[in-house]
């Protein structure tokens, strides 16, 4: 089988960029393709806002090194990438809008690849998709090239299983699932991924098996988190700490409860139900448990906002609330589908002024403050939604000096604080 060390990665987001650099670090020549020209310019200048590292080296350092070695370049011109490369990896996602997956981005990149597809090329889809998408949607588009999948070119699927913040390590050490339209495609996909992956690579019997397993992996976490978010309401009424309850429950060797939070964010877990539902509807299969879990997690940010409103000592229209951390999870620079966005929207719907401090978020928002002090100034309460290295949560007395009222509140959704300590510093405290 021919050398596949000329690789194009389509989509340079939280998955695509560290994946591209993972190949480059191991000697492959990689072209990263994205339609965002500003992103392309920044990457070619060695600039990225991702919070990733590998063996003590930041992704910023890795990017600059691979650019200098000539093993990575970014471009908005897919034609040049198609000409240079013989392996193409797609990391473009399917956004969910109003409960429906939007296939436009995946369709567009598939058509782009089809225009430049050559005999012997390998196409690997790593996007999380509705089960059946690769065979019924992507393959026909690629075959508009006049080439047949499995005969003239290889077509494989490998589910993406990384956690943001651990991308480099998990690309290398997480067991990887692959399949293809035929055995030759599966083997070609396996060989390509072995450049990066040291862990076991499992070849499944069909693409549909891997597509479905990926969605179920994410959906299982949505259901687990929904369960503990529901338990949190029960333990709160009982007057006991949900985090302690889970900690002691998890001493059982066959129990692995996740922890509750302000909701479920990011691109993967909240979308999982909506990736499975279209296929389930076609097959006439109900997803009652999954639907209920999604509803619980979707409603949790409103519950957090209601806690804050309940603790206000002034009318909502006269109130300001400071939110600390708006990333979709702790120590992340990703605010896509973050529960913080829903908490903010719920507060603003009641005419409450919201100021947010999160030094890791590069996105522009009108309520995002450049300085912690500006977010705290004259605030009547704080909601902690995500931990970040750039926020010193221990500086309660410092926080208190900027805030309004004789009893400002802290809503802690991340189990950072001890209730007695917070109340001893002059705050009203409420946890999940």
What residues are labeled active site? Answer: 268
Residue 73's H or E segment, with its range, is: strand 72-75
Q: How many CA atoms lie within 13 A of 75 on its CB side?
A: 14
Task: State the sign of the Cα–Cα–Cα–Cα dihedral 26, 27, 33, 38.
Answer: positive
3-state secondary structure of 177: strand
Could you give the residue ranges of the DSSP H alpha helices within 178-321? 183-193, 207-238, 242-249, 269-283, 288-310
* 197-204, long-range: CB < 8 A, 24+ apart: 197/171, 197/172, 198/172, 198/173, 199/172, 199/173, 199/174, 199/175, 200/175, 200/176, 201/175, 201/176, 201/177, 202/175, 202/176, 202/177, 202/178, 203/178, 203/179, 204/177, 204/178, 204/179
Using CA atoms, how far apart are residues 244 and 99, in angstroms rounded to an integer? 35
Strand order in the sheet with 428-431: 353-357, 320-324, 381-384, 409-412, 428-431
Using CA atoms, how far apart are residues 264 and 228, in angstroms rounded to an integer? 12
How many residues does the structure list for the chain? 432
Write the CA distances from 368 to 348, 363, 416, integer angstroms. Answer: 14, 9, 22
């Amino acid at each position: 089988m021919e050398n596949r060390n000329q690789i194009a990665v389509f989509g340079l987001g939280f998955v695509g960029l560290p994946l591209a650099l993972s190949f480059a670090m191991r000697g492959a020549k990689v072209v990263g393709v994205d339609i965002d020209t500003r992103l392309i310019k920044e990457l070619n200048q060695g600039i990225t806002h991702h919070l990733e590292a590998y063996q003590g080296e930041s992704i910023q350092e890795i990017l600059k090194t691979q650019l200098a070695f000539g093993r990575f370049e970014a471009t908005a011109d897919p034609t040049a990438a198609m000409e240079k490369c013989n392996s193409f990896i797609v990391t473009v996602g399917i956004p969910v809008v109003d409960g429906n997956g939007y296939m436009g981005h995946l369709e567009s990149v598939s058509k782009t690849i089809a225009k430049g597809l050559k005999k012997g090329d390998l196409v690997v889809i790593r996007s999380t998709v509705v089960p059946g998408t690769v065979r019924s949607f992507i393959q026909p588009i690629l075959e508009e090239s006049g080439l047949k999948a499995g005969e003239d070119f290889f077509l494989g699927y490998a589910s993406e299983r990384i956690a943001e913040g651990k991308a480099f390590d998990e690309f290398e050490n997480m067991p990887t699932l692959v399949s293809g339209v035929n055995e030759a495609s599966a083997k070609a996909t396996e060989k390509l991924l072995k450049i990066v992956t040291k862990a076991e690579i499992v070849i499944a019997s069909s693409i549909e098996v891997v597509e479905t397993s990926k969605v179920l992996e994410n959906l299982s976490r949505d259901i687990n988190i929904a369960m503990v978010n529901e338990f949190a309401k029960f333990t709160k009424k009982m007057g006991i700490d949900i985090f302690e309850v889970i900690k002691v429950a998890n001493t059982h060797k066959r129990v692995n409860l996740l922890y509750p939070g302000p909701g479920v964010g990011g691109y993967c877990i909240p979308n999982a139900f909506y990736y499975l539902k279209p296929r389930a509807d076609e097959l006439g299969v109900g997803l009652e448990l999954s639907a209920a879990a999604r509803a619980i997690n979707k409603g949790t940010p409103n519950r957090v906002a209601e806690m804050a409103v309940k603790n206000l000592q002034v009318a909502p229209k006269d109130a300001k609330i400071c939110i600390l951390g708006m990333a979709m999870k702790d120590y992340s620079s990703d605010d896509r589908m973050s529960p913080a966005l829903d908490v903010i929207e719920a507060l603003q719907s009641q005419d409450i002024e919201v100021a947010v401090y999160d030094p890791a978020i590069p996105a522009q928002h009108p309520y995002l403050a450049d300085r912690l002090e500006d977010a705290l100034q004259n605030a009547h309460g704080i909601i902690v939604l995500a931990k970040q290295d750039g926020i010193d949560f221990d500086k309660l007395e410092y926080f208190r000096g900027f805030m309004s009222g004789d009893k400002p509140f802290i809503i802690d959704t991340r189990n950072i604080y001890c209730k007695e300590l917070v109340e001893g510093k002059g705050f009203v405290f409420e946890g999940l």
